[in-house]
Structure 1
Amino acid sequence: MNKKELRPNIPSAKVDDTMSTEEQFQNLVIRPIIKLQHNTIIALFDNYLEHSDFDIHKFDTLKKLEFLKTVASRNQHLRNQYVGIIIGMFTDEEFAVYLTNMGEYSKRIMQIISQRIQDTY
């Protein structure tokens, strides 16, 4: 089985000619991989919380939301782990595309992961 066969189908992840190359790559490659890796993404965040001084259950709703929005982007080690979890599921061709605009694709990866974390907690 190849990596592409593992990915779930996301009917809402449509692609058309009006979208940028980055948006098409996001919808066709990044979003399905993030959906596939959801449990790993959440487990990694649970592990981070377990080993940190933060008890998000004691935060009020607003503080909790703000914390969840910023923690993954501010913690470089956590950010690198998340990006690694996703790019490890790329094919060789997809990785070559990722390298053409690594900063933009990594930013998109972290935005989607951040939203998933917020939605989960």
Structure 2
Amino acid sequence: MPTPPRLALETSLYADDLAAAEQFYGDVLGLDVMLRTEGNHITFRCGPGVVHVFDPAASRDRTSLPAHGAEGPVHVAFGVPTDQLAAWRRHFNRHDVAVEDTTQWGDGQRSLYVRDPAGNSVELVSSTLWSTTARAERLRRVRPVLDLDTAESRPVEQFQNETLRPILKLLNPTILRLVAERLARYGVGFAAMDRVDQRDRLRNLMKEDGRLKRTLLGMVVGHLTQDELDAYLAHKDEVRRRTVPMLLARAQDQIDDIVERVRTQAEGA
């Protein structure tokens, strides 16, 4: 059978008043709106997943996708650090949102319950309550999925394509920022160079700047699971030889972004 699902990617709630729902989930809970379809639904980002709030009448009458809906209030729980629950209670009080109940679970874990404007039960609960997500699973969950056939690859090539490439894609904004910061500090005049010289400067930076290489490699290692770390240590020299050119290629492919970051840092200095 295929790999079992690892993540409940979408959670759907229902509310007749989408504007009131947006105010609660956006302004009170602080979730970012990703998508808004007038009269139909609002989508909020929540960690690696999303929360949809649908107008129940519109979602039942839809024809382009399977119809769905619910009668009466439903329940949703958001994981938060336990030590933040008292602050959430004060936050709800400031927004005139009544705390309906609190519950003490085992090992110091707790829940706090409120109602959204549609009457749905909204729980804020210690994020470790179910202990459903081990570190390895959390690390894999946030990585981009790359559709690469590695069945015939050697072990190091498998590691490169199945592990390194997704991690580097995940870390892309951080990689670009660190490279740009290093160039802004030591690459005098980088933004004003022509493209050939910029590429040469990037190549020299990745080859000669030991501190930058150690920082970037350290970030990658920090995103490895225990099994992946074992594989890395077994082939450390070869993995490093492969990783640095991959970092350089990623930076050179996005050189316009790096130039803009360097220019912005120079202007703000």
Q: TM-score, normalised by structure 2?
A: 0.43
Compute the RMSD of aligned alpha carbons: 1.2
**Identity percentage over the alignment?**
25
Q: 1:99 aligns with which of 233, 248, 255?
A: 233
The superposition leaves residues 16-44 of structure 1 with CA deviations (integer Å, 9 ceiling, x where unpaired) of: 22x21111110000000000000010111
Does residue 1:5 correspond to 2:141, yes or no?
A: yes
Equivalent-residue separation in structure 2 for 1:41 and 1:67 (angstroms): 16
Greater RCO, 1 or 2 (C-alpha within 8 Å, sep 6+): 1
**Given that residues 49 and 55 in structure 1 are in contact (C-alpha distance below 8 angstroms), is that contact kept between their aligned partners in structure 2?**
no
Query: CA–CA distance in 2 between the matches of 1:109 and 1:33?
Result: 11
Bigger Cα displacement from structure 2, 48-57 vs 88-97: 48-57
Mark the structure with the bigger radius of gyration. 2
Q: Show the 5 A alignment for 1:61-80.
A: 61-80=195-214
1:54 is displaced (CA, Å) by 2.3
Taking the TM superposition and a 5 Å limit, the aligned residue runs for 1:37-76 are: 37-76=171-210
Instruction: Provide structure 1 residue ranges, at least 5 long, that are not aligned to the other structure.
Output: none
Cα displacement (A) at 1:53: 4.2
More strand by share: 2
Structure with the bigger percentage of helix? 1
Query: Does the residue aligned with 2:227 lie in a helix, a strand or coil?
Result: helix
Determine helix, strand or coil for the equivalent of 1:50.
helix
- TM-score with structure 1 setting the length: 0.91
Q: SS state of the match for residue 186, structure 2?
A: coil
Paired amino acid for 2:167: I
Distance 2:177 2:187 in 1: 17
Pair 1:110–1:8, CA change in 2 (3 A): same
Q: Give the distance between the partners of 2:178 and 2:140, measured in 1 at CA.
A: 23
The CA distance in 2 between the partners of 1:54 and 1:85, in whole Å, is 26
Cα deviation code 1:70-120 (max 9, x no counterpart):
311211110000100111000011001100111111121111110011011
| Contact 1:3–1:90 (8 Å) recurs in 2 | yes
**Once superposed, which parts of structure 1, at least 4 consecutive aligned residues long, lie more than 3 Å away?**
none
Q: Alpha carbons of 1:101 and 1:115: their partners in 2 closer, same or farther (altered >3 Å)?
A: same
**Contact between 1:7 and 1:36, CA under 8 Å: does it hold in 2?**
yes
Q: Is the 8 A contact 1:8 1:36 kept in 2?
A: yes
Note if contact 2:206-2:248 (Cα within 8 Å) is conserved in structure 1.
Answer: yes
Count of residue pairs the alignment pairs up:
119
Deviates more, 1:23-32 or 1:65-74: 65-74
Contact 2:167 2:223 in 1 (8 A): yes
The answer on whether the counterparts of 1:79 and 1:110 sit within 8 Å (CA) in structure 2 is yes
